[in-house]
Amino acid sequence: MGLLEEIFPGLEKGDYENIPEWGESEHPWSILDDKVNGIQFQISKIVDESGIFIHPTAKIGDCVRIEGPSYVGPNAEIRHGALLREGSWICEGALVGHSSEIKNSILLPNSKAPHFNYVGDSIVGFEANLGAGVKLSNVRNDGRGVLVTIRQDMRVESGLMKLGALVGDYSQIGCNTVTNPGTIIGANSMIPPNTTVNGWHVSKS
């Protein structure tokens, strides 16, 4: 099983409209790069001159700011005071709540960042939930490129200066938790509140 399928098994179902295409890279985070086939490039092929696509069935609250290129899919909900920065891909049924900020990230179908969240250069899996105040940190304090630990024993260069977290399908992250850059949380995992999370966490952690 490849890393992408291990973390995001829901991608194999293929029953959703306009999910990003990952291509041939073995590293799921490569889609966050701003080069050809990254999410910003893919969004640019969908949107009009405004740089923003909002599906007719999406719900957009008051005082929401959306910067292009961004995509908001069917039945997604963006609540009052949310900020979608460039490269936000909000898939079908996903939720961005009050005062949450999304930047160059993918919220896969039915995922939730509902309360005071920061999601930077990250991928949040199918039906995953970020508790109130969860921050997916994307920049190292020392300014170096982000390293990623794969399956507990392999440390690799991500090739990115900014990389947040990969949060697997159906995972739950407790309130006020912070993930350090390059964190990978496997599918069906549960992270307790008020935690700082690093490295690799297998599915069902």
Say whether 115 is catalytic.
yes
- Dihedral of alpha carbons 159, 120, 59, 132, sign: positive
89, two tokens: 């891909």
**DSSP H stretches of helix in the chain:** 3-7, 39-44
Does residue 117 contact residue 100 with C-beta atoms inside 8 Å?
yes
- Give the DSSP letter of residue 138: -
Pick the catalytic residue from 27, 98, 115, 201. Answer: 115
**DSSP H stretches of helix in 17-174:** 39-44
Which residues are marked as active site? 115
